[in-house]
Structure 1
Amino acid sequence: MAPGSLVLAAWSPKVASVQIGFIVNLPSDYNLISGTSMACSHASGVAELLKGAHPGWSATAIRSALMATANPLDTTRNPFLDGDHFNSASPLTMGTGRIDPNRALEPGLTYDAASQEYVNLLCSTNFTRKQSYPSLDRAYDCSKPSSYLNYPSFIALYILTKQRQGSKHFRGL
């Protein structure tokens, strides 16, 4: 949900933040670390601020506001780079971009979806309960499976089809 890139974090000065060769370990009070876990606290904090400003918004609406107003450019106004630092990152590696809390306060449009709509999506995959949603409460109903979800992103669902030669092919929905 929030792939953090070079997030400034407090660092124990007793643990090396940089190693030179096999002998020299340099300590620091801070370090730049990348990863989802580094960005989680920032994204959660912004989500909580949005909930305070809009108490009636659901978690889905808050996520929608964050995604719809995220900036796809870095702080130098250039496209984010992929992990190799040479190619532009795709939405599959960077998400929708850098969170912009001020824009998310007034996104103009938010998408909302109820829990049952997510269940309908899971049900449409034709997996068994154990394969796709083992922790779902039995109260959820799979009688109306649907691959349509009002969500500010995309999802590609593929179903296995058989051709005349018996080979397997995938067809997108």
Structure 2
Amino acid sequence: MDELTPGTLLGRQVDGVTCGPSVLVVTAVLAGSGWPGVVADRFAAAQRTAHRQANRLWPRALGTTPWGMRAWLRRHAPAAGPFRIRPATRDALAAVPAAVGPVPLLVGSRWLPRHWVLVLGVDDDGRWRVYEPGCGRVRAFDPALLRRGDPAAVGGVLGWPRPWCLLLPVGRA
């Protein structure tokens, strides 16, 4: 994942509710699950398939729940996990740099979770490399912005200003 530097194009979500499936597909590709490469039409088809699979009981128009994300990863990308759902507390966010793989992060407004992004890794300067499916690119994000409570700066990089929860990968064999 070190080759995924800020600016790298990974693929854009196909509509306003496929950020979660985009994160799922990219996580699966990085784990070597055999999903198709991130190429426009195949990526779009993979997103739609992942969205149907992750949202068996939840309306797709409402996005993808953390539980749907975790279940999909367990079924379709077992090499990426397992994952533990954690509220985005200071302690949980502080655990991101030590994660053993990509970390799906749900962000939103003060009142509602709205958008999934994927923390790909941490650079030497402490900045996170984050896949933001709205633009389809890897971005650099300074996690100190979360500690300082700078919603405009956080939203400018992650799409929304407030972290809600994350899926932390836990020990792999």
Taking structure 2 as the reference length, what is the TM-score of the superposition? 0.29
Bigger helix fraction = 2
Max Rg structure: 1
Looking at secondary structure, tell me which structure has more strand per residue.
Answer: 2
- TM-score with structure 1 length normalisation? 0.29
